[in-house]
Structure 1
């Protein structure tokens, strides 16, 4: 490993962690012990490219652009593009996006509304009227026409 990287990582860890003895502050031995104990992260995390994010989310690059456009994903503007932003994404933002959009659907055996329950639909009612014992469509039509004539005479 690179000694400079080890030193920077240990200093980064010392900067954001508590010393073993707060009264004495950080001592050289404490920094070494802290680094050996688990200073695993780099000082600045690597940002993900648009393609990497698209691969992680199993979508296309254009879908990622749409998510950015609608404010679903926060990005870091890198480069000096004026027409199209060159974007990079923090891994924490991708994890947050996944958590926000994770959902679990449960299959429901019961009907969702009354409409899908016992109530008859319009076409079912029409079929029922046409096939009822009152006669055919023409018989029903003639009966309604005669009733209308009687109502007109009165």
Structure 2
């Protein structure tokens, strides 16, 4: 029987021999070719983050296999549970709707939706996820930006 450590080393060696690095393997989990880029992000950096702070992010996106009403971008914050993120109680209908295969969008995220949540990791760490709908209330990530640490 082969040990777990040996299995992992063999698996990574196989990836390297096939022209993949461990980093590219994980990045290629988003394999549909969609792209998301942070153009700018702004918040009142001269003051501490408060309930009144609003993060404004300008993003560019490209979706090669675009279908109408199938893609959306959300903002997420790291939580104390390393395997999950959240947007608190941010209303889903306040996220911009993607209507073209490529373009720019702006997300205005008031921090009041996450700042007092007990499971939000400090310092605040933000991500943006381009998602493809796969069901009525679910989707999977096809591109992402982050982590972005807010101070």
Greater gyration radius: 1
Q: TM-score range by the shorter chain?
A: under 0.3
More helix, by proportion: 1
TM-score, length basis structure 2: 0.27
More strand, by proportion: 2
